């Protein structure tokens, strides 16, 4: 018999339902009370705190870039300045079809076609309401061209800006340098706060070496933005209880250099765009008076932004116009080292003023048949030390090189500043090289090549072989000789100037050890021989001193570019122009009270006395106030 189903208990179910309703109501009232209490706390008791936080979310700090410092020459004439200019900007959200707009701007010559893809990429990765710079420093003709057609380009406009400008263009390109766009690596190493809002930075030369004082520090002001980050007028917001906070930018320091515009122009023009360099120094204090590297380029192209193809053309030019030959170029110094080597030989007793040698036009080491040739095939006959300098007799120096030795050469030439960085306030300076036995052991892995051979000493005595020097080092050598061994730190910057107060702070330099010798009369003998190079009866560069109204001294040099066999003869008309000898010349004037020392290097110029010496003469004439007919 099946069990009887229980009768449903309506009373119990009603009681359970009422209980659940009561509990749910109590929980709801409790939770609503918590929400109400929290709202009261937020909107009444903590209103001020959260209002300030909300205000902070709307306020953005906008950087104000500083004005870059100016650069002046020694006479206060401007070398680098900031000029008002117009740049072309595009706001992506206001442009219906960015690609079409860019194509049409390219067609009217306002932007390069090759840069369109880069602009499109930037428009996709940046906020659409922020402007993108398409061109900096438009010309008057370009401004007019856009103004006429501006209705065809919604969202594109011209904006006034300050742009770096170099009034002398290519004249100072290598020494002043240029500014360029900030790169990713620049942003990683720079102090973000100081460079906020800055788009350009010094890339080479003085602009790069003195970037920190030239740049200054960024300022800022507050702007109001909406929830999307778009800036809105401050008057449209009514939450600020005070005026927005601002901090003015601190302008960069002005820099005064030792360079002379007129002297630089004479040196640059005298080079006639030939490959090479000219450096002029005041031997009394180390001030660089002129520093020319040729050929050059217009730094204004970098300041306004170059296209990829424009930069590629410069970079791939076989004459390397971007290369600073004056401080980075290294060349065999040739016979220009002979005066310094003569001082070393006299000091250690490797020769004396009475010793005479017979120059037949060649020299051989004892026990060897190899001939080291003189530049004069028929030879110079009987010569002493002063004759050897005046006539640049190689054989005399070949002979005494055995007694000097390579390590003594290294020691004394280092004292004259060769083979080491001079410490010039530019960052691209090369060290050059004066070899030694230790240097060879350290730089060659093959044991056989680590041996220093006597023949290497012979060719080092005329500035060939491994020996290398920069034009700056050669000018420093000339200045040291002019000062009878006293050395000054070569430098470009003479003072920093506060643009707000015009207060100048002179730059001081530490002293450099002099070339010390035991017999001071040796200076006069060697310098007298250098004077005869230019103004003696048999001097190699006497043609460069014709009708000179002042006394001068110098030394010519010729450096081989490639090696020749013993039986080969040199005919410059039959070889490629770029394989001809380099022409070098060092000099100083006036002889009795030196005011300027000059070094000239002309690549493949063939003759130091005929090609480089007239350039040095023109520079000295200009500095000493004489009209020059040397070039």
Q: Which has the closest alpha carbon to 623: 79, 258, 271, 329?
A: 258
335 has catalytic annotation: yes
Q: CB–CB of 65/218 below 8 Å?
A: yes
Alpha helix (H) residue ranges in 324-418: 325-328, 338-348, 385-390, 394-404, 406-415
Dump the DSSP string for 401-422. Answer: HHHH-HHHHHHHHHHTTTTS--
CA dihedral angle for residue 207, residue 211, residue 213, residue 214, rounded to 10 degrees: 50
How many residues can be counted in the chain?
A: 631
The tokens of 327 are what? 């401080």
Q: CB–CB of 258/285 below 8 Å?
A: no
Alpha helix (H) residue ranges in 65-215: 98-107, 116-125, 140-149, 173-176, 184-189, 205-209, 211-215
Q: CB–CB of 293/273 below 8 Å?
A: no
Local structure of residue 244 (DSSP, 8 states)? P
Q: At what angle do helices 338-348 and 471-482 cross, to 10 degrees?
A: 50
Q: CB–CB of 211/188 below 8 Å?
A: no
In order of 94, 120, 233, the CA distances from 155 in angstroms are: 5, 14, 20
Report residue 229 CA to chain centroid gap.
40
Catalytic option among 258, 293, 335, 461:
335
Distance separating alpha carbons of residues 477 and 490, to the nearest angstrom = 11
Q: Which has the closest alpha carbon to 199: 46, 62, 305, 93?
A: 305
Dump the DSSP string for 558-605. Answer: EE-SS---TT----GGGS-GGGSPEEEEEEEESSSS--EEEEEEETT-
Which residues does the annotation mark as catalytic? 335
């Amino acid at each position: 018999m099946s069990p009887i189903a229980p009768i449903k208990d309506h009373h119990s179910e009603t009681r359970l339902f009422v209980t659940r309703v009561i509990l749910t109501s109590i929980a709801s009232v409790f939770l609503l009370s918590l929400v109400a209490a929290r709202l009261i706390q937020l909107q009444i008791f903590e209103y001020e705190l959260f209002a300030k936080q909300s205000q902070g979310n709307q306020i953005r700090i906008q950087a104000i870039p500083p004005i870059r410092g100016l650069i002046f020459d020694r006479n206060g004439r401007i070398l680098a300045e900031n000029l008002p200019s117009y740049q072309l900007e595009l706001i992506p959200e206001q442009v219906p079809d960015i690609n079409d707009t860019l194509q049409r701007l390219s067609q009217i010559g306002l932007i390069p076609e090759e840069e369109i893809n880069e602009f499109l990429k930037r428009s996709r990765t940046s906020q659409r309401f922020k402007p993108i710079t398409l061109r900096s420093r438009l010309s008057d003709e370009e401004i007019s061209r856009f103004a006429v057609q501006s209705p065809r380009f919604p969202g594109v406009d011209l904006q006034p800006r300050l742009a770096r400008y170099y009034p002398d263009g290519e004249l100072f390109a290598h020494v002043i340098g240029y500014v360029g766009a900030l790169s990713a690596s620049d942003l990683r190493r720079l102090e973000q706060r100081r460079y906020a809002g800055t788009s350009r930075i010094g890339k080479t030369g003085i602009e790069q070496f003195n970037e920190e004082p030239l740049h200054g520090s960024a300022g800022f002001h507050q702007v109001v933005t909406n929830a999307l980050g778009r800036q809105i007028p401050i008057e449209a917001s009514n939450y600020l209880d005070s005026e927005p906070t601002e901090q003015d930018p601190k302008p960069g320091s002005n820099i005064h250099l030792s360079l002379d515009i007129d002297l630089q122009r004479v040196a640059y023009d005298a080079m006639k765009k030939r490959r090479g360099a000219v450096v002029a120094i005041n031997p009394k204090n180390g001030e660089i008076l002129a520093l020319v590297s040729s050929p050059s380029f217009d730094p204004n192209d970098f300041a306004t932004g170059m296209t990829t193809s424009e930069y590629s053309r410069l970079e791939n030019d076989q004459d390397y116009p971007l290369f600073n030959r004056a401080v980075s170029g290294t060349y065999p110094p040739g016979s220009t080292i002979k005066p310094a080597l003569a001082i070393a030989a006299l000091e250690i007793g490797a020769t004396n003023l009475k010793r005479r040698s017979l120059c037949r036009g060649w020299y051989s080491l004892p026990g060897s048949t190899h001939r080291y040739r003189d530049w004069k095939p028929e030879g110079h006959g009987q010569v002493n030390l002063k004759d050897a300098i005046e006539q640049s007799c190689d054989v005399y120096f070949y002979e005494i090189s055995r007694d000097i030795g390579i390590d003594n050469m290294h020691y004394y030439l280092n004292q004259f500043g060769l083979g080491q960085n001079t410490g010039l306030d530019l960052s691209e300076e090369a060290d050059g090289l004066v070899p030694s036995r230790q240097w060879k052991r350290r730089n060659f892995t093959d044991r056989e090549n680590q041996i220093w051979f006597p023949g290497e000493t012979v060719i080092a005595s005329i500035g060939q072989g491994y020996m290398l020097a920069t034009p700056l080092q050669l000018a420093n050598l000339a200045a040291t000789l002019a000062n009878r061994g006293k050395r000054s730190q070569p430098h470009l910057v003479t003072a920093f100037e506060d643009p707000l107060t015009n207060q100048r702070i002179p730059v001081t330099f530490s002293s450099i050890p002099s070339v010390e010798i035991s017999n001071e009369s040796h200076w006069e003998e060697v310098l007298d021989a250098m004077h005869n190079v230019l103004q003696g009866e048999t001097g190699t560069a006497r043609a460069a001193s014709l009708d000179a109204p002042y006394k001068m001294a110098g030394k010519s040099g010729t450096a081989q570019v490639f090696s020749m066999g013993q039986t080969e003869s040199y005919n410059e008309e039959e070889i490629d122009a770029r394989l001809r000898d380099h022409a070098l010349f060092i000099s100083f004037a006036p002889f009795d009270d030196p005011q300027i020392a000059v070094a000239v290097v002309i690549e493949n110029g063939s003759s130091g006395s005929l090609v480089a010496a007239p350039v040095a003469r023109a520079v000295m004439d200009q500095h000493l106030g004489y009209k020059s007919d040397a070039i």
